[in-house]
Structure 1
């Protein structure tokens, strides 16, 4: 087993300090580049029948990581996804969060955790190499209650598994719901419409025009939302005018050990990604807002449906839906999540 770990600094005038970049690698050619700005995945290069390709979306102009309009690769929070009107009530008090998605709150706010430098260090064990990122957030930051701290550790092993282990807590009661926002294209370029997706979920959440859950849990059977068997992403895409941007519910609670949520496969290259998580569901987003105005690292335009997100977390807007699994964490109670991204060639 030959696991590798390296580090370098990248200097860009747009950033107020150098960006620390870490590269994890295994003996099969799988490599992961991580950055301390946003605790982000900048690149995952994976082997396939057509060689080694970068299977995540990124920017040709690295300065665009500063504004990162598509949230490429970052850890988002304190709450991932949307909170309707950016409002919730807790302990007889109302909270107004930053509204950065029309009238709603998205991915922790315009200046959330994904927009900041995290402290970081790398480490190596006999069976894996990794990087740990930590960050603190003051009471009232983006409207959230309590002084907050989070730790996110990435680790890679020789079996092709990239693990992301999350922990967090605050000194006041409040919602916590973290996730990773990487975009995957297992072909390395072009669109993902011919790639096959499987989602281990019988239900999904109905949403309103602002993509806020209505509270209704709908069966996938007989609809374009049914991915219980492998299906090309583009096969029934036209049934959803805006594309896929919904939450699939695998179970009604978190679990102690990661279970399979999703499988993505590119038939041409044979690259396969399995997502396992402790979380009850996954947001599948089909890259609907990529508009071709920016270029990826290889110089290709970042086109609509050029990549998909598979974001494991608790249901969006759960803080406003008593029937959903709760994102509310008591003061000093630990939050935990573990997700595995397992790469292989079939």
Structure 2
């Protein structure tokens, strides 16, 4: 006979990985122990009491390790309700000597909310050095065309301010109009231009322009990362000789150093575009604003994306298994058991079945 008790555990952002321990009694009898098999039958996700069906991309793996007492598995599904699948790994260890088992489970990742300037609309007014973009969730991002040699301290005083307040009081604005559209975000036109000489010096270019700079400020909220896209309509970005810099204004009031964007910072994107990311999409929401500088060359920035990483209590998860004990004379005994990971009593759950024959 085999008798396996159900188990439960809790998981949260502060406890990773989560663990649950239960009883696992095998009694093979006079014919002796021959083999132990465990199948992973199904999993159930409780979305705060609402029925949640498995995501279209949901998938499961489950396999026995070489030790015959350890099984490893993964579940790919939407664990946090953001519409995208996350992968969670777990391990089932059976201790036959002590008649126990343990399931160790990675906590699902935090929810990420992404907002893009491509989905925004400019408020009335302009053209002028300060423009306000309203995003799909009604949050606002303020763009300001600024003197590249302006003091970071002066700029900090006007972060999270309205367009009207900045225009009325800020002394660091440039004479350029701020252009914000998918055709290009820049000063005076849809390109972002820098002096022909290297560095950020504010010198006049052959076209009569200085090194351009603008501040992009998600107003009233902080973000974990800022992703800047560069398209190839004016040759993309080649460093060297082109030099694009950024400076981060953090939520705690500190200001980062001017940082050069190098070829190694770029990631390929669809349509021949490239991007670079400031901050960590899954990190803390510690970025208040970002200032971009074009020290040398010309690029086109069509889109800027912002990511906010939200803390959350993971949805309750139930794992359902079947243990099969085979004796020396090939007789078998089975027992089903469940392992719940929860922060409260389980509510209504939806079940995603798994083809157990393909898992062992």
User: TM-score of the superposition, structure 2-length normalised?
Assistant: 0.28
Max radius of gyration: which structure?
2
* TM-score, scaled to structure 1: 0.28
Instruction: Point out which structure has higher relative CO (alpha carbons under 8 A, 6+ apart).
Output: 2
